[in-house]
Structure 1
Amino acid sequence: MTTEAHPVHEVARFHDDALSVSAGGFSLDLTVKQIEGTWDALSHFPDRRARMELGALAERLNAFAAHVVATIERGGNLDASAEVERFAVRHVSMTRRAWAMDSRCMSWFVVGPARFPVDRNRKRMDWAENAFRALGEHVKAARASVERTAFPHGAPGEPIRASNPDAPALIRAEIEKHRASHALMKAANAAIRSARGKDVDTKVQAVVDATGWREATARRCVVPPQKWMGAGFAAYQLSGELAEIKRLEDRLATIERNRERGTVEREHNTAAGRLRVVENGEAARIQLFFDGKPAAEVRDTLKREGFRWAPSEGAWQRHLNNGGRYAVSRVVSALQPAGA
């Protein structure tokens, strides 16, 4: 088995029963002979399993490297070498752990049914399955981390994030776009009504004159693909544009209000110790800071209220809005000292 990849993306190569990995400052060389003993008790052909595992590892490493390169090509700001090296170090370690878990498992087809430890083997098989499942979860989490690093304020085409420094300007541009769209939809309907009773070509020309659209676009408006739709734009389409404009205006107002307030801090004495609450208008997050790692039951309470741990901030946080403020009040109430 040979894993081929574009040279730019290739950090791992499996050829002639040998895997070679080179990712930044990390390197690894493994052969089928070195690891095939892992599956002696699980397969009559452990060398085949070893080839499959080394090939699969090479594919995952190369696929992640390709994802990093593609993210940069989309305009992401990344240190490709550092990202790929970080992933390779962790993923190889997790893969070898999964292999070690597999090495403790047995198949009675291979070792024989006599005195076979059914219950113990079942537990070990479950542990190994969880270790291999973790590999897929690591790939998914690492890709998401790359996206967050490359596009801290959202990738092109994604919804505008409140934390984006240019969010107000971007939202205003969206509002204007929807207003222009709504105005053109009304103009097209008015043009169709003005040409009532005339032939289709006359109606199409009237829409072109009123909107500046190309003839093909105007014709689709006058003669829709589905007969039941009727000519022009329905009332629900016009009201939908207005609703979207209202939603964007409300969001813009919230973002500007939060930024005008700036950073607001307050402290609470709780059963979990000192709790500092920060309304971070620039990051558009409401953040909770504890003096140390909260107990498991406190962390469960935070998660139930929608807070997630942000290692880069050293805080538990969620979006800054009225819902977030209400969630803080619930957390503070739940962490009141006994007798308070």
Structure 2
Amino acid sequence: MMERKYYEINEAAARRSKEMMSFDDYREGSATAAYQQEVEEIYKLAEKVAERRPDAAEKAEKLADQYAKLLADYYNTNFRIDQMCPSVMIAGPANFPVRKKEKQNQAWDRNREKYERCKEIEDKIRNLLSGKEIITSGDPEVIEKLKNKLANLEKAQETMKAVNAFYRKHKTLDGCPDLSWENIEKLKATMNDSWRADPKPFESWALSNNSAEIRRVKERIKKLEVAKSQPADRKEYDGFSVEEDPEAMRIKLIFEEKPSAEVRDVLKKNGFRWSPRANAWQTQLTNNGRYRLERVLKELEAC
């Protein structure tokens, strides 16, 4: 069972928020309980990932922690925004601070983006569970993940061939050792609904498409292995250097001194993030990353 990490919910702010929005009494601890219930569901989802895909367990747990932290920030910020202006029900319509309410609404909209990011994190965990997560070339573990994907594709190809062979021989799927009872029933239903006169458990197009995906993944692994074997390329500039690190799959900007706030803003808006471990500002080593580096270099010339 994964260790749950809950972040503090400001109960005092939650109570004041309730008082600004409703005549109902605030139930002590209710905001914390609601928050923890949402986080618990995410951890349960992450545990399913760990059970089905042990290789993705650590990533799922990290995503669950990110969700828990961001959700707490969303709630606490919302409680502060609630206190900017009471509801018209509490304040009454006379001399109601319309301008203040407009600012409050704008703040709510901005804070809503945090909750939407929480939903994006949840989607990432669900994609891990289904095996549909996007494997980017900038991921330091891209080759390992692609090899896992390749193994699953090859296993699926062999299973489809074995099931088709069993069906050709026995004219039934009952007792097929390569399928669970549930999958046998699903395939039977699919075959019964088929327009073909003589349907197969897995049609030729399914085997062909999967085979093409196997070839594509193999080729991608080959190209990435060649790229990662190249030595790091480093160029020196005035006050900093730029390094392409194929092993880490990162483009790194290494400054001699801490860059100014203006320079940091340029880096951030172009997708570079500070890495204490690498002691550098970095982004993914992709063609898009190189394009953003060119923009950074042009903007730094003007600073």
Residue 244 (structure 1) aligns with: 213
Partner residue of 1:280 out of 242, 246, 254? 246
- In the alignment, structure 1 residue 124 sits paired with structure 2 residue 104: yes
Structure 2: 5+ residue stretches without partners = none
Instruction: Report if the CA contact (8 A) 1:108-1:116 is conserved.
Output: yes
Instruction: Report if the CA contact (8 A) 1:308-1:316 is conserved.
Output: yes
Residue 265 (structure 2) aligns with: 296
State the distance in 2 between where 1:230 and 1:100 align: 66
Q: Trace 1:1-340 onto structure 2 (pairs within 5 A).
A: 30=11, 36-43=15-22, 45-47=23-25, 50-51=26-27, 54-65=29-40, 67-68=42-43, 71=46, 74=50, 75=54, 76-77=57-58, 87=68, 95-127=75-107, 129-130=108-109, 133=112, 136-137=115-116, 139-140=118-119, 157=131, 163-164=140-141, 166-167=144-145, 170=148, 173-174=151-152, 176-177=154-155, 180=158, 188=165, 204-205=169-170, 225-228=193-196, 230-232=198-200, 234-262=203-231, 264-269=232-237, 274-281=240-247, 283=248, 285-291=249-255, 292=259, 294-300=263-269, 302=270, 307=271, 309=273, 311=275, 313=278, 314-318=280-284, 320-321=285-286, 323-324=287-288, 327=291, 330-331=294-295, 334-335=298-299, 337=301
Moved more, 107-116 or 249-258: 107-116
Partner AA of 2:87 in structure 1 = S
State the distance in 2 between where 1:309 and 1:144 align: 23
Structure 1: 5+ residue stretches without partners = 1-7, 12-22, 148-153, 192-200
Instruction: Report if the CA contact (8 A) 1:87-1:142 is conserved.
Output: no
Q: TM-score, normalised by structure 1?
A: 0.56
CA 1:249/1:181 → structure 2, altered by over 3 Å: closer, same or farther? farther
Instruction: Note the C-alpha offset of 1:247.
Output: 0.6
State the distance in 2 between where 1:168 and 1:124 align: 47
CA 1:326/1:246 → structure 2, altered by over 3 Å: closer, same or farther? farther
- Larger RCO (alpha carbons 8 Å, 6+ apart): 2
The structure with the largest alpha-carbon Rg is 1
Structure with the largest fraction of helix: 2
Instruction: Note the C-alpha offset of 1:250.
Output: 0.7
CA 1:295/1:253 → structure 2, altered by over 3 Å: closer, same or farther? same
CA 1:108/1:229 → structure 2, altered by over 3 Å: closer, same or farther? same
Instruction: Report if the CA contact (8 A) 1:168-1:252 is conserved.
Output: yes
Partner AA of 2:234 in structure 1 = R
CA 1:156/1:266 → structure 2, altered by over 3 Å: closer, same or farther? farther
Q: TM-score, normalised by structure 2?
A: 0.61
CA 1:100/1:328 → structure 2, altered by over 3 Å: closer, same or farther? closer
Partner AA of 1:55 in structure 2 = S
Partner AA of 2:92 in structure 1 = G
Partner AA of 1:254 in structure 2 = K
Instruction: Report if the CA contact (8 A) 1:179-1:245 is conserved.
Output: no
Instruction: Report if the CA contact (8 A) 1:41-1:110 is conserved.
Output: yes
Instruction: Note the C-alpha offset of 1:246.
Output: 1.4
CA 1:290/1:180 → structure 2, altered by over 3 Å: closer, same or farther? same
Instruction: Note the C-alpha offset of 1:253.
Output: 0.4
Instruction: Note the C-alpha offset of 1:256.
Output: 2.0
